[in-house]
Amino acid sequence: MAEHDGKPAADTHTPRSIDWIEILKVVAMPLVVTMVGLIINSSISERQSQENNLRLYADMMARREQADSDLRKDMFKSILDKFASAIPDRKSVEYLDQEIVNLELLAYNFHESIDLGPLFKHVRSEIPDVPPDGMTPAEFKRFENLRRRLEKVAVEVDERQLTLVGDSGVVVRAGVDGLDRMDKAPAFLRFIGPFTIARKDLKPEDSVTQVCLSLRSGDNEPHHRRFKLEVIDYDPTTREVQIRLYVSKKLSLPECNSIELENKAYQEIDVAFWLGLFSVPMIDNTRLTHSERASVSLTVLSAERAQIALAYFPSSRASLKDKPYYDELEHDLLHKESKDDGSKQ
């Protein structure tokens, strides 16, 4: 009896427990395989369904875009053909009215794609500024109404584009007075708002011509630049003002807001140009480094005063015809690659 001391009992229970485990493995394995297969098949079916829906949606959108493009192409060609067609009396009110209608259709549908400034200037040149011989004041009033209508269309398109570029950039405005007295004194230009750079002892009669504007560019870092505007000349015949635009290089925020900043030392752009009501920011803009743009446009113009809008925005908001430059693409790609490499480390 001493030889057994309980060991045989342990030996008889161990094989039985192992047998149950093996049985459970044999029974459970097909169930697990079946469940995994069902889950995989369900996942594949769901993914295929999503891909089919996406493919259907993409095909529908492509067809819609193609139909819209074809319609816009036919419309564009039809309107341009009317501008190019030979009309016996191009100076009549009826003809000019039809030209403005055609220009309205082009402006409201294609202002982001093409430069309509030459067409606006062409139609404007055909509207007389003074009554021709034999024309009564009542008849000339119709021409004045056409001019105001033409300029109204241009300002509306300008405001639409300022809204678009302002969504991802910044737009500030300045009032200009004394255009009719520029032969005696410089025009008074003043920016108003939190972006202005002005002396502490500023007087009401002093101009405020500089602003510090900030923009988050492609590297997602804030870029600060100093902008300065000057009105050099005014031509009442063509209803255009000559503007001088200064833009600095990228600055730190304290430098940008510093009153003592020496503009020449940090200059990137210093250019003068003539500006009328038919210039729009998405088309008529100045290229800056870091894939950025600056534009100046007129939103109000009379014989005495004007209002100017200064916009600072990324090049992605420029018009379709304003293609990126190779150095801009290279900068963006290299910066993205270096940023990705840094995030992986």
6 dihedral zone (left: phi>0; alpha: psi -120 to 50; beta): left
Residues 342 and 223 reside in one and the same domain = yes
Phi, psi of 298 (to 5 degrees): -95, 130
Residues 215 and 336 reside in one and the same domain = yes
SS3 state at 199:
coil
- Cα–Cα distances in angstroms (integers) from residue 150 to residues 69, 122, 139, 186, 342, in the given order: 27, 11, 18, 29, 54
pLDDT at 162: 95
Examine the fold and report which residue of 140, 167, 194 is the final residue of a domain before the chain moves on: 167
Residues 143 and 201 reside in one and the same domain = no
Residues 211 and 302 reside in one and the same domain = yes
Tell whether the model's pLDDT for residue 183 goes beyond 70. yes
Asked if the structure places residue 26 within a domain, the reply is no
pLDDT bucket at 72, cuts 50 / 70 / 90: low
Residues 240 and 284 reside in one and the same domain = yes
Q: Exposed, middle or buried, 68 (CB in 10 Å: 0-12/13-18/19+)? A: exposed
How far apart are the C-alpha atoms of 239 and 231, rounded to whole Å? 14
Total structural domains in the chain? 2
Average pLDDT, the chain: 81
Residues 86 and 162 reside in one and the same domain = yes
- Record the tokens describing residue 70, joined without a space: 């074809």
Report the predicted TM-score, pTM, of the whole model to 2 decimal places.
0.70
Closest CA to 271 of 232, 235, 292, 243: 243
SS3 state at 268:
strand
SS3 state at 170:
strand
Residues 197 and 341 reside in one and the same domain = yes
pLDDT at 195: 93
Residues 103 and 202 reside in one and the same domain = no
How far apart are the C-alpha atoms of 217 and 170, rounded to whole Å? 12
Asked if the structure places residue 14 within a domain, the reply is no
Asked if the structure places residue 40 within a domain, the reply is no
- To 10 degrees, the CA torsion angle through 88, 92, 93, 95? 10
Asked if the structure places residue 57 within a domain, the reply is no
- What is the residue type of 95? Y
How far apart are the C-alpha atoms of 67 and 30, rounded to whole Å? 55
Asked if the structure places residue 125 within a domain, the reply is yes
Closest CA to 149 of 198, 102, 194, 211: 102
Asked if the structure places residue 49 within a domain, the reply is no
Examine the fold and report which residue of 124, 139, 167 is the final residue of a domain before the chain moves on: 167
Residues 223-282: pLDDT tens digits?
999 999 999 999 998 899 999 999 999 999 999 999 989 889 999 999 999 999 999 998
Q: Tell me the CB-side half-sphere exposure of residue 154, using CA atoms within 13 A.
A: 28
Q: Give the domain range for residue 99.
A: 64-167
Residues 119 and 220 reside in one and the same domain = no
pLDDT at 336: 52
Asked if the structure places residue 295 within a domain, the reply is yes
Residues 185 and 122 reside in one and the same domain = no
Residues 129 and 255 reside in one and the same domain = no
Residues 73 and 162 reside in one and the same domain = yes
Asked if the structure places residue 10 within a domain, the reply is no
Tell whether the model's pLDDT for residue 343 goes beyond 70. no
Tell whether the model's pLDDT for residue 2 goes beyond 50. no
Please name the residue that has the structure tokens 């485990």. Answer: 21
Examine the fold and report which residue of 147, 167, 187 is the final residue of a domain before the chain moves on: 167
